[in-house]
Amino acid sequence: MILEGIFGAKLCKSQRSEESAFYVEIGANHPVSTSSAYLMYQKGARGVLVEPNPELGALIRTARPRDVLIPAVVWPAPQAFAMLFIGSAHERSSVDKAHVKSFGDFDGLGGIRDRIEVSAVGITSC
């Protein structure tokens, strides 16, 4: 509710409609439960979601049809591919293997479930 109030106040101040709002979410993850832009989507906004995990990409395409999905990781410099380490819980996935491992077992939710090669785009080429 607080976030919804802030969002509404900012739109009112800018004299823009909710439908005219636009967002870019890098590392979108789940399209609803862990999304920082889902409230805006519900209010009619649309945007670009960058998410390399194909399982989450399928959920995004289903749950957020107005959004554009870029199935890639964003990298500091242009390169074709990167290795994505998919955690046992999607929120713990990363291109940094040590980061995923740093969670330990995390009550059965830690660890690396899979690793896949994914497309990469440079931050300056988006």
Q: Would residue 11 count as lying in a domain?
A: no
pTM: 0.79
1: confidence class by pLDDT, cuts 50, 70, 90: very low
* Residue 71 maps to a domain: yes
Give residue 3's pLDDT. Answer: 46
What residues make up the domain containing 118? Answer: 17-125
What pLDDT score does 106 carry? 65
Count up the domains in the chain and report the number. Answer: 1
Is residue 5 a part of any domain in this protein?
Answer: no
Q: Each residue of 109-121: pLDDT tens digit?
A: 677 889 999 999 9
Whole-number pLDDT of residue 125: 58
* 4 assigned to some structural domain: no
Over residues 53-97, the pLDDT tens digits come to: 999 999 999 999 999 999 999 988 878 999 999 988 777 788 888
CA proximity to 47, closest of 21, 23, 71: 23
Check residues 38 and 10 and name the one with the higher pLDDT.
Answer: 38
The answer as to whether 89 is a domain residue is: yes
